[in-house]
Structure 1
Amino acid sequence: MTAPPAPGAQLRHGRVSLALSFFVQGAVFALLVTRIPAIQDRYGISDGLLPAFLAAVPVLAGVGSVATEHLVKLTRPSQVLRWAQPVVCLALLATGAVGSMAQVAVALAVFGLSVGVLDASMNMLGVSLQRSYGRSIMLGFHAAYSLGGIVGASLAWVGAHWYLSLAVLYGPVVAVLVPLALIASRWFVDRSPGGGERTPETCEAGHTATTAPVAMKLLLPLCLVMAFAYIGDSTVSNWSAKYLQDVLGSSEQLATVPYNVYMVTTLLGRAVGDLGVRRFGAAAVVRAGTVVATGGFAVVAVAPGAWTGMAGFTLLGLGLCVIVPQTFAAAGRLAWEKYGPGASDSAIARLNIFNYVGFLIGSPLVGALGDVWSYRGAMLVPMALVLVTLVYARSFGSPEDGYGDDHERPRTADVGRGSNGL
């Protein structure tokens, strides 16, 4: 068996352009979620009504993901992504610039729907491009998302520090990101029914022939892994500051640090994660990430003080960061192998829904358990859920060497396969 040839210029350009798309999405999403208190104050949204506003976004994002499964039967995922991303950016601007509560509700609804379309189509392109490359590159795309999240959160901090209005904060950012996204989209690379690069010509000639139904039974283990990973992620994003301050007795300033550390370690873990997948296989990397994340939750639950708690959140970032990208990659591979090329897009659209399921469940679950039990005990629940990933780790690997393209590779180059059958 021989390694695949080096990717051509079109694939390399496609990789860079898609990474830019992931970066833009990370920045935009961070700019929204980190300024929720400011949005609430601007439009007079009550504490009782705010959860309904926040829950509507992931619910509608799930609807958008379902719609994407059908959209890509009519056109290429790259076209769906190309026009969904500007809509997301403009919806962010509208969220900070409209004049009433009803109008911001519409803006958030548009944001939610378009985010679902964007997330699904973006990961479809990532998985197909990874297959064309013949080696793991999916974690790198999600590293770009994490970098965008750090940049977006930093811009949000600048806006809060200088008391900028939401419109003043969002306006210049959107003015830069929309042209950037549209220019980058010119180099997106789809995949053809025959397995090569899917150009507009090959897609028009027969993209509908690549579509195929996917049984949810095949995807169920990965759907659970996705949901549990996002329960863990939402626990950190929603409760780390409160946990450090109220349970571990940190200062208000120190309580803001864990999530920033979590984001940085997520970026670092994803930046090097593809190398681990190429060397050890996806199943081994996911197992290792699961063990590290479980250990992070355990450290947080028993931490005697704030600094130990921050060490636990650091471990969480290093562990959780590899699971979601590899879950998308594994779903695309399983559907491709069982149903054919087009089934990969359908599988990813369905799997993406459980991203939002985990996001919806995680925060209220930990909050409810913290109120009726204790917040230390509440940390053990997402820990146990993430640990379940070990049961399903075989879904990330396959003993066969063949990749489904016109060539084969050494096992260490496999994407979504563990060595020695892991």
Structure 2
Amino acid sequence: MTPPQVPGARLRYGRVALALSFFVQGAVFALLVTRIPAIQVRYGISDGLLPAFLAAVPVLAGVGSVGTEHLVKRVSPKTVLRCVQPVVCLALLAVGAVGSLAQVAVALAVFGLTVGALDASMNMLGVSLQRAYGRSIMLGFHAAYSLGGIVGASLAWVGAHGQLPLWWLYGPVVAVSVPLVLLSGRWLAGRGDEDGGDERPGRPAAGVGSPVAMRLLLPLCLVMAFAYIGDSTVSNWSAKYLQDVLGSSEQLATVPYNVYMVMTLFGRTVGDLGVRRFGPAPVVRTGTVVAAVGFAVVAAAPDAWVGMVGFTLLGLGLCVIVPQTFAAAGRYAVERHGPQASDPTIARLNIFNYVGFLIGSPLVGALGDAWSYRGAMLVPMVLVLVTLVYARSFGSSSARYGDDHERPRTVDVGRGSNGL
């Protein structure tokens, strides 16, 4: 079977294919991070060495994102995604199947480098498809990622509960995921689809130019980093906070992150409707306030159940910020430098995903040890509130997608330099 030639059908198939890529990536990443204790035990990684291993993955992912900024000048983001996503899946399998510390270090390095390229290329295509649709669909792709994360974390729980070896857990997932992404990759929609202009090896991608200057992109970069500081605070500290500070049982302490992920999925599923109705800036402002309230509730919670209410609000609030930050960067790049600037701008912004991830957990841990964990929860709250200062960066009324603000639907994927 070949991809459909009708432009509207090509967009629909491309949207489904990209959502599958987001879903698979969410599941694969969750399977890695939720089984870190088992990885540490399997390879005898010391407590002193483990932070270096964990930090290396986002650092190398940032390197991969930087490389993708330059790579998309030669090939399309679609080609990058199709090449690196199977490698990400196979790297996960290698993490669970290799036999030595040196080998797992190499597997994690490959995972980090390729996951940076994958994150960047997926969001490039998401922004491109949103422009082609003429309405907000970016949150839906990230909802697929959240759903994949829930599925991956659930499979990891099954593996831990059944005491399965890592390769037994990862093997079936990779055996399903690799053929799925290879098949669905044929349906991805990107610029140059009609004439194949940016798919030919060694030929510069049509219409790819310089990204927006960092000084102009800085507000969105800060928003991205602060959102991921908030997210990493929840993922790394919610269980410890509930158990050590709020006195919950060990079993109850596992619940907040699951609730957070479910609310993230819910918020992203309905978030596109809010953007279409009210525009991106009001949705981001609302999400920011809800997230800040969530951190405040967590910091002041008298018991574990109130604390879980705070983590629920955090999932509902933080979930809209990152997808809309990517969308805003794409719009700004197009408005300022034309369609050719969007892809490298997205790659540059994506680096701050990993900056926030690297900073968040050590920051809260250091503040918690030196001060108090309740007080530490107020720091990401303040950082997230900075988003309100930069809310206008998410677009004026003329830039809104949806309903009263929606421009006529266009098919601008696949028109070479005039496409994105």
Q: Describe the SS at the equivalent of 1:267.
A: helix
Q: What code does the residue aligned with 1:150 have?
A: I
Q: Describe the SS at the equivalent of 2:339.
A: coil
Q: Which residue matches 1:188?
A: 188
Q: CA deviation at 1:208?
A: 3.7
Q: Which residue matches 2:377?
A: 379
User: What whole-Å deviation, never above 9, does each CA across 1:51-92 have from its counterpart, x for those lacking one?
Assistant: 000000000000000000111110111000001000000000
Q: Which residue matches 1:341?
A: 339
Q: Which residue matches 1:26?
A: 26
**What are the within-5 Å matches in structure 2 for residues 58-97 of structure 1?**
58-97=58-97
Q: What code does the residue aligned with 2:249 have?
A: S
Q: Which residue matches 2:249?
A: 251
User: What whole-Å deviation, never above 9, does each CA across 1:330-389 have from its counterpart, x for those lacking one?
Assistant: 001101110111210011000000000000000000000000000000000000000000
Distance in 2 of aligned mates of 1:402 and 1:328: 14
Unaligned runs of 5+ in 1: 1-5, 193-197, 404-408, 416-422
2:391 pairs with 393, 397, 400, which one? 393
Distance in 2 of aligned mates of 1:292 and 1:115: 30
Contact 1:235 1:362 in 2 (8 A): yes
| TM value normalised by structure 2 | 0.93
Q: Describe the SS at the equivalent of 2:121.
A: helix
Q: Describe the SS at the equivalent of 1:203.
A: coil
1:412 pairs with 399, 405, 418, which one? 405
Q: CA deviation at 1:213?
A: 3.8
CA gap 1:102/1:389 in 2 versus in 1, 3 angstroms? same
User: What whole-Å deviation, never above 9, does each CA across 1:112-169 have from its counterpart, x for those lacking one?
Assistant: 0000000000000000000000000000000000000000000000100111000111
Q: What code does the residue aligned with 2:176 have?
A: V
Percent identity, aligned pairs only? Answer: 80
Distance in 2 of aligned mates of 1:207 and 1:71: 9
Q: What code does the residue aligned with 1:412 have?
A: H
Residue 318 in structure 1 maps to residue 311 in structure 2? no
Q: Which residue matches 1:9?
A: 9
Q: Judge which range, 288-297 or 393-402, deviates more.
A: 393-402
Distance in 2 of aligned mates of 1:201 and 1:132: 18
**What are the within-5 Å matches in structure 2 for residues 261-272 of structure 1?**
261-272=259-270
Moved runs in structure 1, 4+ residues, more than 6 A?
A: none
Query: Alpha carbon RMSD of aligned pairs, Å?
Result: 1.7
CA gap 1:121/1:227 in 2 versus in 1, 3 angstroms? same
Q: Which residue matches 1:283?
A: 281
User: What whole-Å deviation, never above 9, does each CA across 1:14-72 have from its counterpart, x for those lacking one?
Assistant: 00000000000000000000000000000000000000000000000000000001111
Residue 157 in structure 1 maps to residue 157 in structure 2? yes
Distance in 1 of aligned mates of 2:176 and 2:288: 37
Residue 366 in structure 1 maps to residue 367 in structure 2? no
Contact 2:84 2:117 in 1 (8 A): yes
Q: What code does the residue aligned with 1:49 have?
A: L
Residue 114 in structure 1 maps to residue 109 in structure 2? no
Contact 2:211 2:342 in 1 (8 A): no
User: What whole-Å deviation, never above 9, does each CA across 1:275-313 have from its counterpart, x for those lacking one?
Assistant: 000000000000000000000000000000000000000
Distance in 1 of aligned mates of 2:400 and 2:25: 33
Contact 2:398 2:405 in 1 (8 A): no
Distance in 1 of aligned mates of 2:204 and 2:117: 22
Q: CA deviation at 1:410?
A: 6.3
**What are the within-5 Å matches in structure 2 for residues 295-306 of structure 1?**
295-306=293-304
Distance in 2 of aligned mates of 1:410 and 1:279: 6
Q: CA deviation at 1:181?
A: 0.5
